[in-house]
Structure formats: C-alpha cells, structure tokens
Structure 1
C-alpha cells in the first residue's frame, strides 16, 4: 500500500517537471527587467541630479561644501582653508629645522581641481552618479606648484641653511692646556628629491623630512679624542726630571708644549717634539747646574803683543743625549730620566792656538783724512769694532757680519756719503776710509780678496782703485785667511784737530808667508762730467773731477821668486760739478 502511494507521488512529480523551469525563467526575467528599469531610471535620474552642484555631504578638511555650486565651493574653501593653506611647515634636513613659507616656495591650493575632484558637474560617469545618489565624501586638497619658485626656494635653503663643507677636528696647545675642537660633518641637500618631498608633504605634514647627503671630515672628533688621550695629555702631564749626576733640572710642560707640533696623517693625528727647540728652551735650566759649552782658544792683543786665551773643554748635556733620552720621555708616562754629561772638546785648543799664533805684522796700511768731527767719531768706532778680530786658517772676515748695522744705536753719527753721484748726509758717513785702510792692509798681507767695491767717485786721499766703500746689507768688504796660521786685526785712529789731519791704521798680524809687491796704481782714459744746478734743500756744492780707469796689481813672492800675480782695474765716474741754486 505504501509502495503504491510512493509510486503515485513520483508520477505526479514527474509530470510537473517539464513546466517548472519555464515558470522560473519567466519570473526571474520579470524581476531582472523590473530591476533594470528601476536602476536605469535611477541612473538617468542621477545624471539629471548631478548638475553644477557638489555631491551632498562632501567635505574637505572638515569644511562642508556639499550641495554648493563649484564656484560657491571654491570661494568657501579659499576663505575657510586660507590659514592652513598659508601655514608654514618645517623642512627637517639632517637635524636642521628650516621654516618654509608656502608662498615663498611657490605652493598653494588648487581649489578648482579640488572641487572638481568631488564629482561636481553633470556626467554619465557611474562613479560620479553613485556619489550623487549616495552622497559625497571627504576630498583631499590638491596642491598647485610653481616649479621655478619651489626650485629657487630649495636652492636658497640649501645654500643658506643646510649645505656646509666638512670641517676637521683640531687639537692644539694653549699654554699647557690641551684644546680640542670638534669636527663638523659636511652635508649637502639633495635639492631634486627634497623638492619632490616638499610637494608630497605639503598640506599633509607640518614636518617634512628632506634627503641630505652627509660626509664625515677627514679628521673626526673621535680621532681627536684618541690623540688627546694617547699623546697630547701625556706631553703636558708634568715635568720631566733629568738627573745629570751633577744635579737635576726639569723640562717643564711649558717647554714641551712650546716645542710640540701636531699634524694629520691620513685620518689620524700625530704629534712630534722638536728636539732642537726643546733643547734650546731647556738651556737656562741646564745652565743653572753650572754646565758650560766648550770654549775655543782665542787671542788678545795687549801691550803691543798677542797672547793666547786658553781653550776650555765643555761639560754639558749634549744635543745627542737630549734627543735620545729626554725627548722620548716628554711624551711618555716615565717622567724621571738619567743622562750622562758629555765633555765636548774644544776644536781650537790651546796647543793649536799656540802653534798658529800670529807673531808679526804681515800687512799694514795708513790713510789720512781732513778734519771733521763726524770722521773722528765714526772712524774711531769703526777701528774699535774691528780691532781684535781673529781669523783662523780658512776663515773669511766680513765687515757686515762682524759689526752689523752702523747706525745711531751703535754710536755712529751722520756724515757725508756718495748717493746718486753726489754727496749726501747719512749715518756712519766717512767709514769707507776705514774700509779702504783695512782692505789695503789685507791686500799687503796676501789675504784673499773675496768681496770689495771701490767708490764710484775718486778721492785723492785713497790709492786709485785699491780702495773700498761700504753700504750695510748690499756692499760689504770680505777677505779670507789663506795662510797656514791665524791672523789678528788691530786698528787705531789718530784723531784730527780743527784745521789739521787725522789718520787711521790697520795691521794684520800673522806669520809672514808672502812678500807682496804692489806699485802705485796707474790712471788712464780720462773724461769729464757735466755741471748740475740743483735747487733741493739737501744740495751740497761739489767740485768737478775727471773720470778715469785705475789699474793695479800685486805680485806674490817667496824667497824673491814670483809665485803668482793678480791684476785688477776699476773705472771711476767723472764727478759732476754741482751748483746749489
């Protein structure tokens, strides 16, 4: 029975299957058609609803602009958003905060594009119609950028606020204090990337990170700190106490700092001590121990004869020992050292001085001069300053080096000199007479003529050509001791009285090695000068004299035999007649 009912039910179902799909399709199509008509109507309605209005509920930065026309929305935003639009923002460049004015950087809000982005205006764009039908949303402000102004402002910021060259750290001594200056990292603003970052960050962030390239200095603060701790502080931590066996002395931090130098070696600092400079600075401290340098033997002229001043051997801390022992201690933790004294021997000993002792006059010359107070003063000083000078074999004598400047500080007074072919007053005028006398004494002693220059004008009281002038720093008188023995110079002056004459004499003492023959010079090739009329206050009347060539020579003889001959000549300028008008 049950089976019959089940079979009957299956028969009913089987009979309904052919008509059900058609009915479903009809219903489905009817629904879809209805929806399409509804949506189409809504879409068309949405199109006509867009018009010139901003979609409802649209905002920008919280400012309501929905339902407004484009022009109204732009005006409202320009008014209500002006403060934010023109608000300064901070550009952060490697820790440097730079305040940027939007206007200066060519930045503003493009209100038209911003309003248009909300969906204002009639359009078949489904997105825009959707916004009209469903309501608008928050829109972001769109920036307007003046690229040239932005580029110029970024360039200005780079040059004035950000860019800088790296600066090396530095270490120095100020007295005994170690001073360290920090190094500075160099930085360069990447202007292209930073401009892009400003554009992206404007209206979004009040702090915008810029791209900056950094460059460490060659000598960093770390390198300076390492050097200060490892070397500089040690150098001035305290005195170096030196035991000589005959007492102690101190090399003070002041001395060490004064002799120290600091330089760069690659990316590190290095320090050094100038041993010679430190030795010189410590000399007064060493002198207090009674140490002394070796003293060479010399000579003195007394009572018409020459005697030997004995040599003395030295007792000192030698430079070699100082460099070897004391200089390294100046930059170490070991501040107590011992050093052996050296007994430096005199190079020119008493025995050698006795052997080379000047024993006789080998050259002598005297010249006379007309009375003038300045001549008496200047020639007497000149003779006193020269007298007693000693030349060992091979040494060269120089007036400039031996006397130095001849000025008022040395006691010299004004006298007449030749300047520009005329007589003028200058300090130490007249000492050329002393130079001429000394030159002739050396000439007849057979010493080598190293440097001398005759006057440009001839003076009859001098041997023609065989005379010398002086001008400190440019014209000197030099001669060399070419003998096997020492020579000594002595000089004296017989002062003139009013209306009379004086004289100056120089003697060269030594051991006679040559017989010198030198006749009076000869004159030739005479010519005359001109007459000059001068109006200056410094004018001095001058008598004329002819110019000419002077020739002279000397013959070196030994045992009556000529060994060699020296020929010399000098051309004198004619002396112009000077009339003061």
Structure 2
C-alpha cells in the first residue's frame, strides 16, 4: 500500500514537473515575441515578421511611402508633357494604423493560443489604405485648359478694288478635361509599383464656322441696288451713312440668318445718330435714326434681286418717296425688323457703299448662281382717293391760324412680283408681297381762340 502511494506521488511529481517545464517553455518562447510582430504577418507584399514596431514602420515607410512620393502623374499632349508629383497631392498610406494593427495581431490571445500562432502561423496580409488631395490635380488640369483651349477664328473676306482678299481661318482646340481627370483618378488606386502614372490627354480640334475654302467660292456679283438721298438734310444723311457702314462686309454662310436690327443695333445719340423725320403711322415725326428705312429698303431690294426672300419684312403705312410702292421695308428698333436667311447654298458677301449721297448695296456669291437674274415689278390694283378735307376748330390756336394735322393719303393696294430671267426671258413670276397703304383724308385744325 505504501509502495503504491509512493509510486503515485512520484508520477504526480513527474506530471507537475513536466507541466511546469512545458509552461516555462511556452512562456519563454512566447514572451520573446512580446515586442515583435508575430511570424507570417505582411503589410501588402512586405513581410515584417519578427520586427519591432519601430523597425516595421521604417520598413513599410521605406518600401511604400518613400517610393510612392517619388512617383509622378505624367500627362502627355502633342506639345508638352505636364507632370504632377505625388507629394504635391499629399498622397499617403495609413502606415501608422496598419503597422499598429500588424504589431498587435494575436497579442490579445491566451498564452497557448499565442504559442500556437507563433509556432504555426497561418499568415496574415494587411492591406493599406491610400489617400490623396485631388485639388492639385484639378488645378493642373485647369491650367492646362488655359494653355490648350483656343477658339477657332473664322476666315474673313474683303474687297480690294475688284478683287476679293480672303484671310485664312484658324482651328481651335479643346482639352477633354472631364475625361482626362476621370482616367487619372481611376489610376490613383494606391498601386505600390514605383512606376509613374502616364496618360495621354485627348484634345479635340474645333473648326471655324467660316473657312477660307468656303469663302473662296465667293467670286461674282449677283445683284446691286442703289437709292438717292441727295435731298436729305444733315441728320437724315448722317443716319443713313452710319447704318450703311454697319452692314458693310457682312458675311452670311448657307443657312445663316440676318437681322437688320441686330446688325445695325439701337439707333442712339451715343452712336452718332441724329434726330430726323420718321414716318410714325400716317404722320411724320422726328426721332433718332430717322431715315434708316431707306437703308433697310435698299438692302431689301438688293437681296431680293439675288434670289433671297425675306423671313420678316414690313411695309410703311404710307408710301415712301424713294422707292416704288410695294418695294419698301420699314424697321423700328424693338418693334419691326427686316430679316432673311441665306438660302443660296454658298456664302454671301454684302458690300455697302455711300458716295455722293448715293447708297448702294452689292451682293456677291458664287458664279454658278449668276446664270439667272431677278427683277421686281409692282401691280397697283387699287387706288382710292381720300375724302374731302376735314376742318376742326381748335380753341388752343388763335383765330386765323391753321395747322395741317394730317396730310391727304391715297389708299393703295399693290402686289409685288419677283421675275426670274434667263437668256433674256422671264421664266418665272413669284408673288413677293401684297401690301395696303392707308387711306387718309386731310385734317386741318383751325384756330378759334380770340386774342385779347
């Protein structure tokens, strides 16, 4: 019995000593990893097993952060390459966070779990997060736009004597900035490769609306129309001259529209326009720009004779002295306009000239259009004489005085046609307008105020 007890005690002592020895062994082999990263731990592709916190941070910083800060974003254009360093974008990885995570991995386990993890690590890969400030990239692309973007310049045409001189057009360019930024941002993904990011910027070429090749098709005069304002006083003559000059050199590409008011602009004293007689309804008054209806009328006649009809045209309420009935075109800023669209298929060049109080519009385009000519004829199909003069007593006028309030107006109805002539024959007649001019009896105010 005593022998059995002794054996039992010896066995227990052996077990106790073995357990104590095992614990000491496990504790020893685990404790030495207390200040080290456990085996099998990687940050990205970098194995930092057995490294202290400081060593691990230095290794990660050297391999990733230092390498990444040497990288550039290179944007290639046909003229130059623009570069932006990662450091200027404050590009960085969350190194402190991931190194601490790697260092602390497994440290919260029990002693034997730690030992097992150290003895037979299954490995652990920790991924870094990459951040940057996109503003420097936005600023770079904005500066690129300032250098690259340009507006195309239209060709121009002018006459030197009887010769057309055409200056060439220039192309414009537009950086496709949104597409460029999107492509760059898609590549700023924290790739640990030391290679730069390189992209080619797309630059769109923009063409001028009016090109030299198109303007060179203008080579012949299609029509001309002149009117005389030699009897006009200074104010009216000044207005006609100013308005005419503002139209000279107008170019209309095929399908492009012309507005008299948009081209000439508002008739103001600041622009040099003078007060002059102007038809308002059935009366004559005075206003800035009076007389320029002779300009719009002359242009209307020249344009019709080049085979371009109007899209907006208004006739006067009363007949004009400088043009046959049905062939006038009145304008009024903000109210009445004269408009047309180039329907010829070629550019149109308008030349306007004032010489010795003769106003002339010449319309030029391609010679292929000159095989026909166009004339205007009117048909006055009604002319009604005004009734007898109306006399109105006016107590504001002294006895014996008279004032003509309304001059007599014959009422006209007139149709205007455009004849197409080829080889001396009228091959077509087109109704252009059907106008009515107001009928008005003469009105005279008679003074009845007695003078004391």
Query: Above 0.5 in TM-score?
Result: yes
Does the alignment pair 1:448 with 2:312? no
TM-superposed deviation, 1:307: 2.0
- Structure with more of its chain in strand, by fraction: 2
Q: Secondary structure at the match of 2:172?
A: coil
- Selected match of 1:382 from 231, 238, 243: 243
Post-superposition Cα deviations, 1:233-283, rounded to whole Å, max 9, x if no partner, equal xxxxxxxx998665799xxxxxxxxxxxxxxxxxxxxxxxxxxxxx9xx99
Partner residue in 2 for 1:292? 150
For residues 78-99 of structure 1, give each alpha carbon's deviation from its aligned partner in whole angstroms, at most 9, with x where no partner exists: xxxxxxxxxxxxxxxxxxxxxx
CA distance in 2 between partners of 1:400 and 1:283 (Å):
41
Contact preservation (8 Å) 2:221, 2:362: no
Change (3 A) 1:368 1:390: same
SS at match of 1:516: strand
Residues 247, 366 of structure 1: CA spacing in aligned structure 2 closer, same or farther, 3 A cutoff?
Answer: farther
Q: Which one has the largest radius of gyration? A: 1
The SS at the match of 1:518 is strand
* Deviation for aligned residue 1:400: 1.9
Verify the 8 A CA contact 1:445 1:514 in the aligned structure 2. Answer: no
Alpha-carbon distance between aligned partners in 2 of 1:450 and 1:546, rounded to the nearest angstrom: 28
Which stretch of structure 1 is more off in the superposition, 378-387 or 360-369?
360-369
Q: Which residue of 1 aligns with 2:413?
A: 549
Q: 1:558 aligns with which of 422, 441, 444?
A: 422
**Deviations 1:18-66 (CA, angstroms, capped at 9, x unpaired):** xxxxxxxxxxxxxxxxxxxxxxxxxxxxxxxxxxxxxxxxxxxxxxxxx
CA distance in 1, matches of 2:436, 2:263: 29
TM-score by length of 2: 0.57
SS in 1 for 2:305: helix
Question: How much has 1:287 moved relative to structure 2?
Answer: 7.7
Distance 1:315 1:554, change over 3 A: same
Q: How many pairs are equivalent?
A: 302
Partner of 2:437: 572
Give the structure 2 partner of residue 365 of structure 1. Answer: 226
Secondary structure of 1:445's counterpart equals coil
Q: Could you tell me whether the CA contact under 8 Å between 2:409 and 2:439 is conserved in 1?
A: yes
In the alignment, structure 1 segments of 5+ residues that lack a partner are 1-240, 250-278, 496-501
Instruction: Tell me by how many angstroms 1:527 deviates.
Output: 3.0
Residue in 1 that maps onto 2:211: 349
TM-score (norm 1): 0.45
Whole-angstrom distance in 2 between the partners of 1:283 and 1:400: 41
**Counterparts of 1:476 and 1:392, CA distance in 2:** 20
SS in structure 2 at match of 1:555: strand
Unaligned runs of 5+ in 2: 1-73, 83-137, 190-197, 398-402, 448-452
Once residues 504 and 544 of structure 1 are traced to their aligned partners in structure 2, the CA distance between those partners, rounded to angstroms, is 29
- Given the alignment of the two structures, is residue 302 of structure 1 paired with residue 157 of structure 2, yes or no? no
Cα deviation, 1:518-550, whole Å, max 9, x if unaligned, reads: 33553523231664768999x986532312112
Shift of 1:471: 1.0
Counterpart contact for 1:358–1:488, Cα < 8 Å: no
Cα offset, 1:462, TM superposition: 1.5
Q: Distance in 2 between matches of 1:426 and 1:288?
A: 47
Tell me if 1:490 matches 2:348.
Answer: no
The within-5 A match list for 1:101-500 is: 246=79, 289=147, 291-317=149-175, 321-326=176-181, 339-354=201-216, 356-494=217-355
Separation of aligned partners in 2, 1:536 and 1:437: 42
Corresponding residue for 2:372? 514
Measured in 2, the distance between the counterparts of 1:448 and 1:369 equals 29
**Equivalent residues of 2:250, 2:351 under 8 A apart:** yes
Q: Is the 8 A contact 2:411 2:439 kept in 1?
A: yes
> 1:370, CA displacement in angstroms?
2.1
Q: Are positions 1:527 and 2:382 aligned together?
A: no
C-alpha separation between the residues in 2 aligned to 1:563 and 1:453? 27
Other structure's SS at 2:203 match: coil
Return closer, same or farther for 1:418/1:515 CA change in 2, 3 Å cut-off.
Answer: same
Provide the rounded CA distance (Å) in 2 between the counterparts of 1:328 and 1:379: 59
- C-alpha contact (below 8 Å) 2:152/2:170 kept by paired residues: yes
For residues 532 and 341 of structure 1, the distance between their equivalents in structure 2, rounded to whole angstroms, comes to 77
SS in 2 for 1:370: coil
| Runs (4+) off by over 4 Å | 241-249, 282-288, 326-330, 529-537, 539-542, 560-563, 578-581
From the superposition, tell whether residues 460 and 521 of structure 1 become closer, same or farther in structure 2 (CA, over 3 Å).
farther
Q: How far, CA to CA, are the matches of 2:354 and 2:441 in structure 1? A: 32
CA 1:374–1:329: 2 relative to 1, 3 Å:
farther
Q: Distance in 2 between matches of 1:535 and 1:310?
A: 70
Call closer, same or farther: CA 1:558–1:248 in 2, change over 3 Å: farther
Alpha-carbon distance in 2 for matches of 1:540, 1:558: 50
Structure scoring higher RCO (CA < 8 A, sep ≥ 6) equals 2
Equivalents in 2 of 1:569, 1:532: separation in Å?
33
